Amino acid sequence: MTQTTPPAKDVPDVFAPAKLGPVTLRNRVIKAATYEGLSRKSLVTDELIEFHVRHAAGGVGMTTVAYCAVAPEGRTDRRQILWTPEALPGLRRLTEAVHAEGAAIAAQIGHAGPVANPKSNRLPALAPNRRFHVTTTSFTSAASRADLDRIVQAHAHAGRMAIETGFDAVEIHLGHNYLASSFLSQRINHRKDEYGGSLENRARLSRDIARAVRDAVGDRIAVTAKLNMDDGVPGGFWLDESIQVAQWLERDGSVDALELTAGSSLLNPMYLFKGEAPLREFAAVMPQPVRLGVKIFGRRLLHSYPYQDAYLLKDARQIRAAVKMPLILLGGITGRHVMDQAMSEGFEFVAMARALLREPDLINRMRADASVKSLCIHCNKCMTAIYGGTHCVLTGPLTGRDKPDERA
């Protein structure tokens, strides 16, 4: 067995303990938020607990629960977890189970905005402006000032509930054209008030949310944010603007670290993932008439991009050069060599998603053998598994699942 070679003295060891705000993680590897599709009636299930326990037992420093919506209309599906009194006992069981395996646990909090499913939620989706919602053939509603004030406070409430239920961190969702991210985008945000126009105005909601969460939790838990570096669409939020927003968040002192991401769940979802777009598999799990639309128009929305390891590193370097705060590198983290490269370039943490879906125990095996590399082939078919429990389709579900139309 090949023993792990320690990194150079001036480069952090990715498998050594590290501080994230007030929390000490046992290593610098974070299981990124991937919607699990395992909650029922907006509550935690035994299957969801099992999902995160497997990753905790597999060696990550922290696992991230996705997606915990801060408001009923902010879910991409009505089954997703909501911060309600009824949800708290299940969330406590979840955090206790992960802690028992020695890992920390974060809750991804956010509002899906124009990515939310109004038909599933039975509530209007909110966006900066009224716009047509392609996947549900309905219109979003323009968020009012009262809506935005309510949503900011809902994020603060989620932070307090995260502390009460034993989470070590919250990750604020400022990416993928969810609500806060949609306000950042000039392509989506056409408002004429204090939330539209200049970048300072478009960033107001993101900064207000981050401040409210920090004020609510203080230094009792870590606060991170998932920030788009670019939306991957013409006229959308781009890297030069992301650098400025990162600098503002650093100056505000509202977050302990940024996880750098890209792409738009609304306009270009494959931009984040790279690799093939599984059109046939998506069509197979969609109801009509969406299924027909995917077959006819899918390639206009679901593009394929070449995959390479550390594929977000090039852009992330520019944000690394512009801020001093801790950064989490996401995208194509497949082996110790990529992790060490991230550490050597000044990133404090790495986040992994698809590779851990394929092999939940990957981190433990990497620690034992530096030559171990992910078996993930980046086929992206795991994306279509969310409706019955997210898993790698090449290895099968972690546990048996019912069909989406059988879940309450």
- 3-state class of 62 per DSSP? strand
The residues facing 132 across adjacent strands are 139
Q: How many helices (H) and strands (E) does the chain have?
A: 15, 15
CA angle 67, 68, 73 (to 5 degrees): 100
- Could you give the residue numbers annotated as active site? 178
Q: What is the pLDDT of residue 376?
A: 85
* Burial category of 191 from C-beta neighbours within 10 Å (exposed 0-12, middle 13-18, buried 19 and up): middle
Q: Grade residue 402 by pLDDT with cuts at 50, 70 and 90.
A: very low
Which of the two residues, 181 and 397, has the higher pLDDT score?
A: 181
The answer to whether residues 376 and 358 touch, using CB atoms and an 8 Å cutoff, is: yes
What residues does 329 pair with on adjacent strands? Answer: 260, 350
Burial of 84 (0-12, 13-18, 19+ CB in 10 A): exposed
Q: Which of 75-89, 91-105, 181-195, 369-383 has the lowest mean pLDDT?
A: 369-383
Over residues 293-315, mean pLDDT? 78
- The pLDDT-based confidence of 292 (bands split at 50, 70, 90) is low
* Per-residue model confidence as pLDDT tens digits over 186-228: 999 999 999 999 999 999 999 999 999 999 999 999 999 999 9
Given this model, what pLDDT does residue 382 score?
Answer: 75
Reading the block at residue 200, the tokens are 């300072």
The rounded distance, in Å, linking the Cα atoms of 349 and 389 is 27
Split at pLDDT 50, 70, 90, the class of 6 is low
Q: 84: pLDDT confidence band, cut at 50, 70 and 90?
A: very high
Residues 81 and 35: beta-carbon distance below 8 Å? no
Residue 14 has pLDDT above 90, yes or no: yes
CB 187 within 8 A of CB 131: no
Mean pLDDT of the chain: 89
Q: If you ran DSSP here, which 8-state letter would residue 167 be given? A: -
Residue 104 pLDDT? 98
Q: Which residues contact 368 (CB under 8 A, 6 or more apart)?
A: 1, 4
Q: In this predicted structure, which of 86-100, 284-298, 336-350 has the lowest mean pLDDT?
A: 284-298
- The DSSP letter of residue 273 is H
DSSP 5-43: PPPPTTS--TTS-EEETTEEESSSEEE--------BTTB
Beta bridge partners of 43: 40
Helix (H, G, I), strand (E, B) or coil at 145: helix
Q: What residues contact 324, with CB distance under 8 A and at least 6 apart?
A: 250
Tokens, residue 336: 């110790």
pLDDT tens digits, one per residue of 244-255 = 999 999 999 999
State the pLDDT at residue 389: 83
Residue 258 has a pLDDT of: 98
User: Which residues have C-beta within 8 Å of that of residue 335, sequence separation ≥ 6?
Assistant: 309, 366, 372, 373, 374
Residue 296 has pLDDT above 70, yes or no: no
Peptide bond into 305 cis (omega under 30): no
pLDDT tops 50 at residue 405: no
Which residue from 108, 102, 100 is spatially nearest to 27, judged by alpha carbons?
102
Q: Which two tokens stand for residue 129?
A: 């402006």
| pLDDT at 349 exceeding the cut of 60 | yes
Instruction: Please write the tens of the pLDDT for every residue from 25-70.
Output: 999 999 999 989 999 999 999 999 999 999 999 999 999 999 899 9
Q: Is the pLDDT of residue 177 over 70?
A: yes
Question: Region 257-263: what's the mean pLDDT?
Answer: 97
Residue 329 sits at φ, ψ, to 5 deg, of -90, 125
DSSP state of 134: G
Whole-model pTM? 0.90
Task: Yes or no: say if 338 and 311 are a contact pair by the CB < 8 Å rule.
Answer: no
Residue-level pLDDT at 186:
96
Q: Is the pLDDT reported for residue 399 higher than 50?
A: no
